[in-house]
Amino acid sequence: MGSRRVNLNLPSVENREFRLGTIISWDGNAKDLVEESNYEGRSEKRGGCQSGKEGGCKLCELNMPFSQQAMCCHAIIETQAANITDCVLVEHSPIGCSARLPRINLTYKGGLSRRGKELQNIKVVSTNLQEKDMVFGAALKLKKTIRDAYERYNPKAIFVALACSTAIIGEDICSTSEEMEAEIGIPVIPLECEGFRSKHWSTGFDIAQHAVLRRIVKRNPQKQSDLINIVALWGSDYFSEILKPLGLRVNYLIDMASFDELAQASEAVATTTFCHTLGSYFGSALETEFGVPQIHAPMPYGFAGTDAWIREIAKVTGKEDIVEAYIESEHKRVLPKIKELREKLKGVKGFVATGSAYAHAIIEVIKELGVQVDGSVVFHHDPVYDSGNEHENSLKFLTDNYGDIEYFSVSKTQQFQLYGLLKRVAPDFIIIRHNGIAPLALKMGVPAMPMGDEHMAVGYDGMIRVGEALVEILSRKKFGKLLQENIKLPYTDWWLNQEDPFLIGKHPEILETCVDRFQAENNEEKGNVENGR
């Protein structure tokens, strides 16, 4: 297996589509995507778009003619840099780029509450750029904003985020940040996260992690033999419950961590994550650049994944003498309840619509519960992860241990496709992470289970938590059926009758025909109105 090396000498991380070969549109079955991804071959090369030992073609991707909605790298930076408890994010942008902050603040405070931390608001300051700033530049305004942020909050570091507008006019945030760091005496860290930079928002996670690794993580650490890094978001502290019997303390990164907790990441005995999509870059960099071993194992979901994950942690941390007894006792503890849930969920069909690796994990959990899964949609697909380690090939682990998924799609949260995706597999429920998907699913009579706490499914108890939630949701299907009978979906009958949700990507000429037809209908209607006058 080839070794892929993170390059922290670069001022900013490479986009995922260049580094990993990430795609955002595909349709087929899961086993075909595993084969086309050629994880092992791509791990031999630095560029993710290289397929096979001698290089080769990029993973085939459907070219959809438009995007109904999307999220950007800048928005993801708001969920990362703005979620460090004693740091400040300065958004060098018009105020519109800050529109999501109330929602991000709510998520942040919810996470603090779950972890038992002191509640506080996120600390974000905008340069609030105007038209004249776009014409004459805004370096002086950025300097003043950094000074104001420092005086107001006394942070341990200030992050400066680029936006689409400031990237277009060529604002040099790197030089300004360097100048202001010398003036105020704390790290001022530029983030090149303009919204149009990458075709998928997950690059934003890598941008934030790259900056933390370069500027905050200690280069000369004093090792803590019982500390383990968990690259996570806002989930409950279930990892401490799982790892405490092995004598390990958890250090969560990046969300809701303090500057010092980020700095001590290099002091840990190992790094792992709840999702390879989120944690692969951070874990690989800590391993190759700081000597902190990454846990090369499946994610901790279901029996197979959790067993392998715990065994690998025990191997890395020197706990192999106690791990088998621990695993055996956990199986005995949870198996009776899981068998009970399997009986209740017998014959139920589910659908998962979440981020990439996380979807693989959730499918494993509900398959452990006996749920049939014929379809899933992930919001992007990484053919390989940064470590290139075969044990992190989460889609292959899913298909090898739990079987194929007949309809496995990649689509960037395009709601116009969701009707067709659900129609062709007719699930009894859908599991989601992004709540905007739920209303359309419910209008089709399909209840949604939102994974608001992304750690809900982790570990052995995660199977029980998910199973109990599903039983409760399935007991309330009547509302969805009533809604389905009384709501008209905002799409034409022509589109609703299509069997292929990716039709206009495979045959874009159809869209041109539709546009011509709608224009003709509009002209005819306009003519009728004018004649009526």
Q: What is the pLDDT of residues 34-44, one digit of tens each?
A: 999 998 888 87
Is the pLDDT assigned to residue 133 strictly greater than 90? Answer: yes
The C-alpha atoms of residue 334 and residue 241 are separated, in whole angstroms, by 14
- Mean per-residue pLDDT for 183-194? 97
Residue 510 has what pLDDT? 85
Predicted confidence at residue 1, as pLDDT, reads 46
Query: In sequence order, what are the beta bridge partners of 158?
Result: 88, 188
Residue type, 420: G
- Residue 108, φ and ψ in degrees, nearest 5: -60, -50
Give CA–CA dist 164/195, Å, rounded.
5
3-state secondary structure of 502: coil
User: Residue 291: which of 386, 205, 218, 215 has the closest Cα?
Assistant: 218
User: Where does the pLDDT of residue 528 fall: very low under 50, low under 70, confident under 90, or very high at 90 and above?
Assistant: low
> Which has the closest alpha carbon to 48: 195, 200, 265, 189?
200
Token digits of residue 61:
């991707």
Residue 429, helix vs strand vs coil: strand
With bands split at pLDDT 50, 70 and 90, how would you rate the model's confidence at 49?
Answer: very low
pTM: 0.93
Place of tokens 């994990």: 361
Residue 54 has pLDDT above 60, yes or no: no
Number of C-beta neighbours around residue 130 at 10 A: 12
How many CB atoms are located within 10 Å of the residue 417 CB? 24
User: Do 129 and 138 form a contact (C-beta atoms < 8 A)?
Assistant: yes
119 pLDDT more than 70: yes
Q: Which residues contact 71 (CB under 8 A, 6 or more apart)?
A: 201, 413
Average pLDDT over residues 18-37: 94
Q: How far apart are CA 282 and CA 197, in angstroms?
A: 20
Over residues 497-519, mean pLDDT: 84
Give the CA diameter of the chain: 89
Question: How many Å apart are CA 282 and CA 268, to the nearest integer?
Answer: 13
Range 73-195 has CATH code 3.40.50.1980? yes
Residue-level pLDDT at 55: 40
CA angle 70, 423, 415 (to 5 degrees): 15
d(CA 28, CA 375): 10
d(CA 338, CA 103): 35
* Residue-averaged pLDDT of the chain: 92
For 420-460, the pLDDT digits (tens) are 999 999 999 999 988 788 888 999 999 999 998 999 999 99
Distances (CA, A) of 320 to 138, 268, 279, 317, 508: 57, 18, 24, 8, 56
Backbone angles phi, psi at 433, to 5 degrees: -115, -30
- Predicted local distance difference test score (pLDDT) of residue 431: 97
Instruction: Kindly tell me the sign of the dihedral angle through the C-alpha atoms of 293, 296, 297, 300.
Output: positive
